[in-house]
A and B are shown apart, each in its own frame.
Chain A
Amino acid sequence: MTEKRLRIALAGNANVGKSVIFNYLTGLHQHIGNWPGKTVEKAEGTLHFKGYTIDIIDLPGIYSLSTYSIEEQISRRYIAVEKPDVVINVVDASVLERNLYFTLQLMELGAPLVLALNQIDIAKRKGIEVDVEKLEKLLGIPVVPTVAIKGIGIFKLLERAVEVAEKRETSKTVVKFGKEVEDKIAKLVKTLEGIHYWYPPRYVAIKLLEGDEEIEKEMEQLNPGVVATAKKISKEIEKLHEHSCSTVITAERYEIAGRIAREVQKLVSPIKPRFEERLHNLTTHKIAGYAIMVFSLLAIFYSIFTVGGYFSDFLNELFYATEPLFYNFLGAGTFGKLAWSMMEGVIAGITIALPYIVPFYIILYFLEDSGYLSRIAFLMDNIMHKIGLHGKAFIPLILGYGCNVPACLGCRIMETERERLLAVFVTTLVPCAARTVIILGLVGKYLGIEYALALYIFDLAIIFILGRLAFKVLPGEPTALIMEMHDYRWPHLKTVLKQTWFRLLEFIKIAFPLIILGSFAIKLIEVSGLLELVASALSPITVTWLGLPLITGITLIFGVLRKELTLIMLATLLGTTNFAEVPGFGPIQMVVFTIVTMFYIPCISTIAALIKEIGWKKAILITIFEVIFAITIGGIAYRILILTFK
């Protein structure tokens, strides 16, 4: 018997409980990756039901099927081209109008649909009851009420979805716009006859009238005449309504969504005053809001880095205890050393990244799902704007002070690719705990704490300047905050844990080979006696330009693995921990050395995180930029300091 397969796609607005349903359906059979060639996350999973093997794909949370964001492009293309057997549209029953606006677009796209009317419990608390049968009739598709976080309705949802998938049944109801617009659509559909395109004609007609850039471009290739006609027709509509055609269509679609919502909703008296409401007012209050934010962030920071630090030390000791065993077994010769270096790479990965990434991911998802993240974004938006980012970037940036790796991974909460790129770039400049060790351990210890503080301020200034510059240089739309603040709710713990677990796996897959390879390569240089050679090769930069001792070239190479190694290696190579005694390594050199270490390269784990979030090319570009930048600024600082203090 051949295997019976079905494909289900989950689609809907952000924060409607889509990922909770996804996790319910797929359990531990899921895989998180990226869409091919894109940096948008792709979550897939499988499940067995009634003799079927069902592949489930969780499409990104979006509000529309236009081309504003890559997420929207990916979603509509997936639905139109890959043609899943059924699309489950998850909607939030408590914000029905906005959600139905998206449903209507899925219907325009001609997808076989089932509606999951989620969060009916929250809607009830708000005083909204939905007439499910009436909604089914108006839309012409099955509607299943669910409370995903309690698992209510999920089984029935799956049953209905399979029924629809078996027949690939699309809605017979065509939701009509106003007569004028409908006439124009009909006219345009006629001109589309005989053109072979993956989107259905009605959808293409509507999108052309809306001025959709992607579809316009593709139609231009297939039949430029149609695009010209569409432009002419939309001008007519524009004249009639005194608004752009895209505005007219969007407004009409929203009117339809609103009408349906009003028809199926029964308003009963809400439970008042709702706790969510009060919590919202408190956490966005102009004084209390900031106080709560500072307190929560401090608590988060403290807990991540004490818990993480504890586990990091513990694991470090545990693994390094195996070192003698290793040498006993493989010998202390070249082979043993090389093998151990790979082991050291593994240890570095496990002890630096994991203890911080795990609690960070859990807390980040917790903040995001509960709704608090959007409140922090609301409070911090103005300040973040100064470096071209909006409020949401604040969290990864702050956590960058602990470790850049989870901070970079956290930048995925930014909506557009451009914002994500800006956010990760700025994040890699934030002095993490390892860099703090160098700032305090070198400059702080030998020159005084005020100099260390000055370096911190210098770093902040650089972040500000480079952030602004990158913001100016990168093409694209001005950063603007347009964000829904959904009601506070208790996050679904299992979903949070699963999200953490699968993203962790994904990170390990990218990071570990890189870290292991890196530490192997450096060890190879060391055991083959090439270190001196490398140091000499770097001398034009280190000695001539930066005015540092020759030996620092070697330590900077080790710093790529983990930044605190620059200091540790310096002590090892110099044979002393009292750096003040070292000839040719005075206060000026210490400052220059620290500046260079602060900026010169994201450590190898951070590079891996960059690759995961923004792709190879951009990760390499950022890395190269920062190397050049650090060397340039270090050399300039050296010359200024020499002039000032000599």
Chain B
Amino acid sequence: MSKRKIPLTALKAGETATVVSIDAVFGRGGGRRWGFEKRLMDMGLTPGTKVTVVKSAPFHGPIEILVRGSRLALGRGVAERILVEVEE
């Protein structure tokens, strides 16, 4: 059983994975790192949480996920920064 760490956007529709961490370091002095990370955490995307990707909107749009019993839409830029682990 191997584990790989990939961004949430790499999951296919219907796949489930576990959140590992959130990459909240933005380039060039970096924006408000704390707010971004905290907001995702507040929505329930804490490390160890299971997320299921339902689908993604066309033209590289946002993705729809199920987390902690509710449905969230995440912009692609956001989802790319959420690192997850898939068990194979």
Listed in ascending order, the chain A residues whose CB lies under 8 Å from chain B are 63-64, 66-68, 95-98, 101, 210-211, 213, 243-244, 246-247, 250-251, 254, 258, 280, 284, 286, 374, 377-379, 381-383, 385, 390-391, 476-487
Contact B70–A486 (Cβ < 8 Å): yes
Given A68-B38, A250-B46, A390-B75, list of 5 further CB < 8 A pairs?
A: A64-B39, A251-B46, A382-B59, A482-B74, A483-B73
Contact B46–A482 (Cβ < 8 Å): no
Can you name 23 A-B pairs with beta carbons within 8 Å? A63-B43, A68-B35, A97-B69, A98-B43, A98-B44, A98-B68, A98-B69, A247-B22, A250-B46, A254-B49, A286-B58, A378-B57, A378-B61, A379-B57, A477-B31, A478-B26, A478-B77, A481-B74, A481-B78, A482-B73, A484-B72, A485-B64, A486-B70
User: A250: which B residues are within 8 A, CB to CB?
Assistant: 38, 41-42, 46
A262 CB, min distance to chain B CBs, angstroms: 10
CA distance A203 to B31 in the complex (A): 27
User: B37: which A residues are within 8 A, CB to CB?
Assistant: 244, 246-247
CA distance A97 to B36 in the complex (A): 21
CA distance A97 to B43 in the complex (A): 11
CA distance A482 to B38 in the complex (A): 12
CA distance A382 to B71 in the complex (A): 19
Contact B70–A95 (Cβ < 8 Å): yes
Listed in ascending order, the chain B residues whose CB lies under 8 Å from chain A are 21-22, 26, 31-32, 34-44, 46-49, 55, 57-62, 64, 68-78
Contact B39–A482 (Cβ < 8 Å): yes
Given A284-B64, A378-B61, A379-B61; A482-B35 close (CB under 8 Å): no
Contact B73–A382 (Cβ < 8 Å): no
User: A487: which B residues are within 8 A, CB to CB?
Assistant: 71
User: A247: which B residues are within 8 A, CB to CB?
Assistant: 22, 37, 41, 46-47
CA distance A324 to B44 in the complex (A): 66
Given A98-B69, A480-B75; A68-B44 close (CB under 8 Å): no
Q: Which of A383, A478, A485 contacts B71 (CB 8 A)?
A: A485
Given A385-B75, A481-B75; A254-B44 close (CB under 8 Å): yes
Q: Which of A246, A280, A480 contacts B38 (CB 8 A)?
A: A246
Contact A213–B34 (Cβ < 8 Å): yes
Contact B46–A486 (Cβ < 8 Å): no
CA distance A486 to B62 in the complex (A): 16
User: B78: which A residues are within 8 A, CB to CB?
Assistant: 480-482
CA distance A483 to B72 in the complex (A): 6
CA distance A346 to B35 in the complex (A): 45
Q: Which of A63, A211, A251, A381 contacts B47 (CB 8 A)?
A: A251
User: A95: which B residues are within 8 A, CB to CB?
Assistant: 68-70
B58 CB, min distance to chain A CBs, angstroms: 5
User: B64: which A residues are within 8 A, CB to CB?
Assistant: 284, 378, 485
For A378, give the chain B residue with the smallest CB separation. B73
A281 CB, min distance to chain B CBs, angstroms: 9
User: A383: which B residues are within 8 A, CB to CB?
Assistant: 59
CA distance A481 to B40 in the complex (A): 11
User: A280: which B residues are within 8 A, CB to CB?
Assistant: 71
A33 CB, min distance to chain B CBs, angstroms: 27
A164 CB, min distance to chain B CBs, angstroms: 26
Contact A482–B60 (Cβ < 8 Å): no
User: A377: which B residues are within 8 A, CB to CB?
Assistant: 73
User: B68: which A residues are within 8 A, CB to CB?
Assistant: 95, 97-98, 254, 258
Given A284-B55, A483-B73; A378-B46 close (CB under 8 Å): no
CA distance A250 to B21 in the complex (A): 13
CA distance A547 to B70 in the complex (A): 60
Name the residue among B62, B69, B76 with the largest chain A CB count within 10 angstroms: B62
B61 CB, min distance to chain A CBs, angstroms: 4
CA distance A24 to B44 in the complex (A): 31
Would you list the 10 A-B pairs with minimal beta carbon distance, nearest first? A481-B75, A251-B46, A64-B42, A382-B61, A250-B41, A286-B58, A95-B70, A485-B71, A480-B78, A378-B73
CA distance A391 to B61 in the complex (A): 10
B38 CB, min distance to chain A CBs, angstroms: 5
Q: Which of B21, B39, B72 contacts A68 (CB 8 A)?
A: B39
CA distance A594 to B46 in the complex (A): 54
Contact B72–A284 (Cβ < 8 Å): no
CA distance A525 to B52 in the complex (A): 66
For A126, give the chain B residue with the smallest CB separation. B69
CA distance A280 to B68 in the complex (A): 18
Contact B62–A477 (Cβ < 8 Å): no
B33 CB, min distance to chain A CBs, angstroms: 10
B14 CB, min distance to chain A CBs, angstroms: 13
Contact A477–B36 (Cβ < 8 Å): yes
B1 CB, min distance to chain A CBs, angstroms: 21
Contact A243–B49 (Cβ < 8 Å): no
CA distance A66 to B41 in the complex (A): 11
CA distance A99 to B31 in the complex (A): 29
Contact A254–B38 (Cβ < 8 Å): no
Contact A484–B69 (Cβ < 8 Å): no
Q: Which of A64, A251, A378 contacts B62 (CB 8 A)?
A: A378
CA distance A98 to B37 in the complex (A): 17
Contact A246–B41 (Cβ < 8 Å): yes
Contact B74–A98 (Cβ < 8 Å): no
Given A66-B42, A213-B34, A251-B41; A480-B71 close (CB under 8 Å): no
For A478, give the chain B residue with the smallest CB separation. B31
CA distance A258 to B69 in the complex (A): 10
CA distance A480 to B73 in the complex (A): 10
